[in-house]
Amino acid sequence: MTARLNLIVLGKQGAGKGTQSTALSEKYAIPHVSTGDMLRNAVKAGSELGKQVASILQAGDLVSDDIVNQLVSERFKEPDAQRGVLLDGFPRTIGQAEALEAMLGEEGIKLCINLDVPIELVTQRLSSRRVCQECGTTYKDTDVEAISGTCSNCGGDVIQRADDHPEAIRTRLMNYERDTEPLLSFYGNRGLLVIVDGDQSPGAVTDEIIKVVHERGLA
């Protein structure tokens, strides 16, 4: 890899961004930077910022650009991010996208991948999702771990997150349509947008993304 590989994965909540980001992070040896994980870690730490974030997430609303931009900017300074980053959940707004351009400068975004999944499917995925509070492993509500409430990976408690309840899901999807969908035009106008069908097996989605990355000579 001759240049810093900065990739963005966009898509509605439940589109599979986390799964694809993990696979691509491993493929290209760049860190998976999830603003959702960073925010949840702040909540878990119980800091004043964490308490503020908790109330926002529980309502299904979005955290302010200033808070998220600060978290991401600090993350970019860490040693493992010098080869590039895989951004999951950021940017969410045009303001965040403009801030990201300012952060990265000449080492800007190389590709923005949008996982296109029907709203009915992402709603189903989110409402059936259960997550380990300790390690973040994700399960379906029909999995043994979800039924027992115990993670087979670390023994932590498996729960349904507050922002995966029906009312919060509706709010999150409305916020996505209002705030994040404009990014498709933002990156499309820059020639950086690629739309991938997210209603395939995870492996097929990953293969399609890797093909695009290689066709563009990015890796």
Residue 140 annotated to the active site: no
Residue 130 annotated to the active site: no
Residue 129 annotated to the active site: yes
Residue in 4, 27, 83, 161 annotated catalytic:
161
Structure tokens at 171: 């709010």
Cα distances from 104 to residues 88, 97, 98, 170, in angstroms, run 16, 11, 10, 33
Residue 32 main-chain phi, psi, to 5 deg: -85, 105
The DSSP annotation for 144-197 comes to HHHHHTB-TTT-PBEE--GGGSHHHHHHHHHHIIIIITHHHHHHHTTT-EEEEE
154-159: long-range pairs with CB below 8 Å, 24+: 156/132, 157/132, 157/133, 158/130, 158/131, 158/132, 158/133, 159/130, 159/131, 159/133
Residue in 17, 40, 125, 130 annotated catalytic:
17
Residue 92 annotated to the active site: yes
Residue in 40, 92, 110, 130 annotated catalytic:
92
Residue 17 annotated to the active site: yes
Which positions are annotated as active-site residues?
17, 92, 129, 161, 172
